[in-house]
């Protein structure tokens, strides 16, 4: 294994980009699965309510209504969870950052193949790498700020109308 002090700036940058890509790929896949799970549960529970109430079972009407009520409450929890954590927004944000990192990696590999790239180009590429993360961090803070400050929750907790 090569010592970090012996690495070239180009090798360091490429390794950082590759590590970031691997990390983000896992996060993107997890957010995608969470989004799909919330959507699938929502569709399934909505369908289950419809079928439960749509069946005509003599003598079981009260039970059907109670089952539908329970499923409806569960559907509300699932949809509330999805709205609160907004996995889809996180998924799209992280996917966008991942695509930018792929583009940067392609550019780095291209300049490595040229083998005659001026040092200032590598500095520009490193600045681009930092910029990608700064933009991602800024977007992330905006998403989290939006999720953390729904105005209705404090009003409900304080019994305000």
> Residue 42: which H helix or E strand, with range?
helix 9-54
Would you place residue 4 in the very low, low, confident or very high pLDDT band (cuts 50, 70, 90)? low
> Tokens representing 110?
């291209």
What are the domain boundaries of the chain? Answer: 8-157
Mean residue pLDDT of the chain comes to 87
| Mean pLDDT of all residues in 143-159 | 55
CA angle 51, 52, 57 (to 5 degrees): 110
How many residues would you count in the chain?
Answer: 161
User: What are the pLDDT digits (tens) for 28-82?
Assistant: 999 999 999 999 999 999 999 999 999 989 999 999 999 999 999 999 999 999 9
In contact, 90 and 9? CB cutoff 8 Å: no
115 vs 39 pLDDT, higher one: 39
pTM: 0.74
Q: Where are the alpha helices (DSSP H) in 55-118?
A: 61-85, 87-114
Nearest residue to 71 via CA among 43, 105, 98: 43
Provide, rounded to the nearest whole percent, the portion of the chain with pLDDT above 70. Answer: 85
User: Can you give the pLDDT at residue 94?
Assistant: 93
């Amino acid at each position: 294994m090569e010592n970090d002090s012996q690495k070239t700036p180009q090798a360091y940058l490429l390794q950082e980009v590759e590590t970031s890509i691997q990390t983000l790929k896992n996060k993107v896949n997890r957010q995608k699965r969470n989004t799909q799970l919330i959507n699938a549960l929502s569709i399934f529970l909505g369908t289950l309510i419809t079928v439960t109430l749509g069946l005509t079972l003599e003598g079981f009407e009260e039970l059907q209504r109670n089952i539908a009520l329970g499923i409806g409450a569960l559907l509300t929890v699932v949809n509330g969870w999805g709205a609160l954590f907004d996995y889809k927004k996180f998924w799209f944000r992280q996917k966008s950052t991942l695509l930018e990192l792929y583009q940067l990696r392609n550019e780095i590999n291209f300049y490595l193949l040229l083998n005659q790239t001026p040092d200032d180009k590598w500095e520009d590429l490193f600045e681009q790498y930092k910029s990608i993360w700064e933009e991602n961090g800024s977007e992330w803070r905006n998403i989290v700020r939006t999720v953390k400050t729904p105005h209705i929750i404090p009003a409900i907790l304080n019994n305000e109308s």
